[in-house]
Structure 1
Amino acid sequence: MEEYDSNSLSIKEDIGIHLSVKTEETLGNGQLQSNVVDVTSFGALGDGKTDDSKAFLEAWEKICGEKGSQTLQIPIGKTFKLRPILFKGPCKSNTINFRLLGKIIAPTKSEWGGKGNGRWIIFKDVKNLIVDGFGIVQGSGPTWWNVVHSNRPTSLAFSGCDNLRLKSITSINSARNHISINSCTDVTVFNVTLIAPEHSPNTDGINIVGSSQVNLFHSTISTGDDCVAINGGCSGINITNVYCGPGHGLSVGSLGRNKANEKVEHVHVKNCTFNGTQNGARIKTFPGGSGYAKSISFKDIILINTRNPIIIDQHYGCRDHCPHTTSAVEVSDVKFIGFHGSASKGAINLSCSEVKRCNGIVLEDITIIPATKGKKLEVVCNNVDGTVQDTTPTVSCLSKP
C-alpha cells in the first residue's frame, strides 16, 4: 500500500499549501504575552528514536498548572516520538497554545502495546486550546492498515475541548481518523492538511460526534475514507472551501446504527471540491434507527470525476437485503444547490425509506455530466418528496417548484 513520505515537502507543494505560517507570541487583541515552554527544556530529545512522552507530559503539567496564557512549543528541525498520550484538563491557564513546529511521530503497531484505547494523542477537557504551527503529525498507518479488525488509533482526539482552534497543521498516514472532535462546542479548524493513501481503511479526515458550532475552512483532505463525517448529536456545522479527494466524500452519518436515536441539524457546506472521490455530498442512515437529519445544505460544489455526487441512503449497511423495520431516521429539509462537474457512475441517488419518506428535498442549479464520454449516469429516486429545477440529468420523481 502506498505510503506518503513526510520527509519531503512536495506533498504540500503539490496541493498548493504554503508553508510559511507565522506564529505569534501575543494572544487575541495582541495585549497578552504568552509564556513559552519548549519541550526540549524538559528533556525531550527529538531524535526520532527516543520516547519523548515523559518530557511532553511534564511540560504539559507545568503549563496546565500556571495561570495566564501558556504555550507549549515543539521546535522546528526535530522529530519527537510519542507513545499514546493524554493531555488532560481542566487547566488553570486561560489559554493553552500547543505550537507544533517540528514533527511528532507515532509508534508502530508492534510498539503500540495495549494503551491508548484506539487513540494516539488525546486532549481532554482543555478549554481555550489552540493547536497550530506548520509542523507534522505522522501516524504509523502503514503498520496497521493490513491488520484485520485491529483497534487502529485516531491520530488527534479532542474530547470536551470547548473553544478549540486548530490551524495550519499537517497530519499524514493516520492509522484511523486523522482528527476526532467529540463533545466540543465552538470549534474552528482552518488551513489543515490531512493525507493518507486512497485505499487506506477508515482514515477519515475529520470525524465529528456530539459537537456544536464547528467551523471548518480552507483545508485539504486527501484520505481513504470520509473527508468529513458528521455523526449523531451534531448541530451548527459549517464547512467552506474544503478540497476533498481522494476519499469517500463528505457524509452526514451514518446514523441509527443498532436502532440508535441520533440527531443532526443545521449543517451547511459551501464552495467545496470533490475530486476523484467515491461519493460527494452524502447522508447515510441505518434502517431501524430513529431521530432525524434536517436543515442541511450543500451549495456551490465542484465535481471532478466523482463517482456518486449526490446521495441520500436510508438503507445503509444492508443494501438489497434490509430487514423489515418499523422505524427510520427522518431526513428532511435538505438542499443540493449549485453542483457542477463530472461523475463516473451515478449522478443522483435518493434512496429513502419506505417507512419514513424523505421530505423537503430540494435540487436546484445542477449540471452533472459523465466523466467518460457516452456513458449514461444513473438516477435513483425512491420514497422522496421535494422539488427540482434546472437540473441535469432529469429527476422525474420530484415536482417543479
Structure 2
Amino acid sequence: MSSMFLFLQGQALIFLICITTFLIERSVAGIFDVTCYGAFGDGVHDDTQAFKQVWRAACSDENPSILIPSEKSFLVGPITFQGPCKSANIHLQLLGSIVAPKDPVAWTGCENVCWIYFTGVAGLFINGSGTINGNGQRWWDTPSRTRVNGTCTKPTVVQFNYCNGLRLNGIKLVNSSRDHIILTYNKGVTISNIHISAPNYSRNTDGIDIFFSRQVQIRDSIIQTGDDCIGINTGCSDINITGIRCGPGHGISIGSLGPNNTFANVENVYITNCHLEDTQNGVRIKTWQGGSGYARSIHFENINLKNVENPIIIDQNYCNGGHSCQPQVSAVKVSNVTYKKIYGTTSSKLAIKMNCSNSTACTNVELENIYITSVEPGKKIFATCNNVKGKASSNSPHVSCLSQ
C-alpha cells in the first residue's frame, strides 16, 4: 500500500471526524475547531485561509467558541479578525501554537503594521496554555523602518483595536519582531497570567503598549523582552498594573509622551506589587521636549528592584537616540506623582534621576520609604533632580534636591 494512499486515507478520516465532531459540538455549544475548516496545524502549510473561514463562521454565531487544538502548530500570515460579531461575547481557546512566517519576505498585506489584528470585537476572551510565536529573529537586525515587499515594516504580534471588554488569560507570546501586544481605543480590559518573552538583545520588542484606552488591568504576569515591559502612552486613564515580574527589558514606562510637538494625556495610573530584575530602567516617566498636555495622578508603590540600572527616573528631555533634539519651551506637564515603598538594588551611581523641563516644573512629586542600595556592597549611590517640586521622607539615598 503506497504512502500516498495512506496519507489520503488519513486525511479522509480526519475530515470525517471533524464533520462528526462539528455537527455534534456545534449544535450543543457553538464550538468551532479550526482544523475542521481546513487547517493543517503542521507548521508547514499556510493555515491563514482556514483561520479566516473559522472566524467568519464563529463571528456569525450566537454563542461561539473557537478552538485552536493542542499539539499542533498553525502557520498563519498577516490576518484581520473583524467585528462586530453577532454575539456580545466570543471565546477563543488557544491550546496549540500559532506561528508567524520566519522569513520577512513572506510578509504581505501589512496594512495595519501587525501580524494578528482584532478590531471592533466586543467581549473577546482569549485563554489557554498555547503560544503565539512571532518568529522575529530575522527582523531584529534590520532597521526599524525597513520595508519588505513595499508595505511591511516590523510587525507587532497582535493588536486589539476597539475591543471593549477584552480578556486575555494564561497564553504565551514569544519572539515578536516588534511589540508583542498593542492596545488601542479599548475600554474594560483585563490581562492576567500571561507570559511574554523575547531575548534582551531584540530591539523594540515591548511587552504591552497601551494607547487611547481606559479601565485597563494587567496583573500576575511575566514579561521578559528587549524593550519596555509595559508602556502606557497617550490617551490612557484608569490603568492598574499589579503583580508583574519584569526583566530583562527597559522596565515599566509612562510614555514616551509628546513626540513631534504633539498633545499627550495620561492620568490615574497605579503600578503596584511588581518585581523588576536586570532591567535598564525601573519605573520611568519619559516625555519629549516641545510636547503639551499632562501626565498626572501616577502612583508607584511596593516595587522590588534587583540589579536595575535606573530605578526611578523622570526624563522630560527624552530623545530616543538618532534624533536631533533641540531645546524647546513647551513640555508635557508632569504632576501628582507618588513613589512609595520602592526597594532593592541598582547597578549605577544614580538611583533616582528626575530631569524635568527647565520651563515646566514637575510638581507635587512625593517620595516616601525608598530604600535602594548598590549591587556593589559599600558603594555610594545618589539622587539628582532638576526643576522638581514636592516632598521626600524616609528615603535612601537621601533626596535633598526636591523643592517645595
Same fold, TM-score > 0.5, yes or no: yes
Distance across 2 between alignment mates of 1:116 and 1:376: 51
Residues 237, 266 of structure 1: 8 Å contact kept: yes
1:85 matched to 2:95? The reply is no
Which residue does the alignment assign to 2:341? 338
Which residue does the alignment assign to 1:40? 35
Which ranges in structure 1 are unaligned for 5 or more consecutive residues? 1-32
Which residue does the alignment assign to 2:192? 190
1:374 CA drift (Å): 3.5
Distance across 2 between alignment mates of 1:52 and 1:162: 28
1:125 matched to 2:120? The reply is yes
Distance across 1 between alignment mates of 2:320 and 2:69: 49
Distance across 1 between alignment mates of 2:256 and 2:213: 15
1:130 aligned partner, one-letter code: F
Q: 1:382 aligns with which of 382, 386, 393?
A: 386
1:339 CA drift (Å): 0.5
1:5-52: CA deviation from partner (whole Å, max 9, x where unpaired): xxxxxxxxxxxxxxxxxxxxxxxxxxxx84211001111010100110
1:318 CA drift (Å): 7.1
Which residue does the alignment assign to 1:363? 367
Which residue does the alignment assign to 1:23? none
Q: Which secondary structure state, in structure 1, belongs to the residue aligned with residue 49 of structure 2?
A: helix
1:138 matched to 2:133? The reply is yes
Which residue does the alignment assign to 1:62? 57
Distance across 1 between alignment mates of 2:337 and 2:217: 19
Structure with larger Rg: 2
Residues 30, 61 of structure 2: 8 Å contact kept: no
Q: Kindly report structure 1 stretches of 4+ aligned residues shifted beyond 6 Å.
A: 318-321
Residues 382, 398 of structure 2: 8 Å contact kept: no
Distance across 2 between alignment mates of 1:318 and 1:110: 28
Which ranges in structure 2 are unaligned for 5 or more consecutive residues? 1-27, 147-152
Greater shift in the superposed pair: 111-120 or 198-207 = 111-120
Distance across 2 between alignment mates of 1:182 and 1:339: 30
1:394 matched to 2:398? The reply is yes
Q: Which secondary structure state, in structure 1, belongs to the residue aligned with residue 267 of structure 2?
A: strand
Which residue does the alignment assign to 2:306? 304
Q: Which secondary structure state, in structure 2, belongs to the residue aligned with residue 246 of structure 1?
A: coil
User: TM-score scaled to structure 1, two decimals?
Assistant: 0.89
1:129 CA drift (Å): 0.3
Matches within 5 A, 1:163-202: 163-202=165-204
1:161-209: CA deviation from partner (whole Å, max 9, x where unpaired): 0000000000010111111100000000000100000010000000000
User: TM-score scaled to structure 2, two decimals?
Assistant: 0.89
Matches within 5 A, 1:87-106: 87-106=81-100
Percent identity over paired residues: 46
1:143 CA drift (Å): 1.1
Distance across 2 between alignment mates of 1:318 and 1:236: 27
Which residue does the alignment assign to 2:351? 347
1:127-172: CA deviation from partner (whole Å, max 9, x where unpaired): 0000111000011110100111331111011000000000000001
RMSD: 1.5
1:316 matched to 2:310? The reply is no
Residues 85, 116 of structure 1: 8 Å contact kept: no
1:310 aligned partner, one-letter code: I
Residues 388, 403 of structure 2: 8 Å contact kept: no
1:94 CA drift (Å): 2.0
Q: Which secondary structure state, in structure 2, belongs to the residue aligned with residue 236 of structure 1?
A: strand
1:266 CA drift (Å): 0.2
1:322 CA drift (Å): 4.9
Which residue does the alignment assign to 2:44? 49
Distance across 2 between alignment mates of 1:299 and 1:95: 35
Higher helix proportion (structure 1 or 2): 2
Q: 1:112 aligns with which of 97, 107, 116?
A: 107
Residues 110, 155 of structure 2: 8 Å contact kept: no
Q: 1:155 aligns with which of 150, 157, 165?
A: 157
Distance verdict in 2 for CA 1:323–1:277, change over 3 Å: same
Q: Which secondary structure state, in structure 2, belongs to the residue aligned with residue 197 of structure 1?
A: coil
Residues 140, 175 of structure 1: 8 Å contact kept: yes
Residues 63, 93 of structure 1: 8 Å contact kept: no
1:253 matched to 2:248? The reply is no
1:242-299: CA deviation from partner (whole Å, max 9, x where unpaired): 0000000000000000000010000000000010100000000000100000000000
Distance verdict in 2 for CA 1:307–1:34, change over 3 Å: farther
1:262 matched to 2:256? The reply is no
Which residue does the alignment assign to 1:72? 66
1:286-323: CA deviation from partner (whole Å, max 9, x where unpaired): 00100000000000000000000100000000799852
Residues 232, 253 of structure 1: 8 Å contact kept: yes
Distance verdict in 2 for CA 1:218–1:318, change over 3 Å: closer
Q: Which secondary structure state, in structure 2, belongs to the residue aligned with residue 141 of structure 1?
A: coil
Number of aligned pairs? 367
Distance verdict in 2 for CA 1:258–1:147, change over 3 Å: same
Distance across 2 between alignment mates of 1:160 and 1:62: 21
Residues 240, 270 of structure 1: 8 Å contact kept: yes
1:275 aligned partner, one-letter code: E
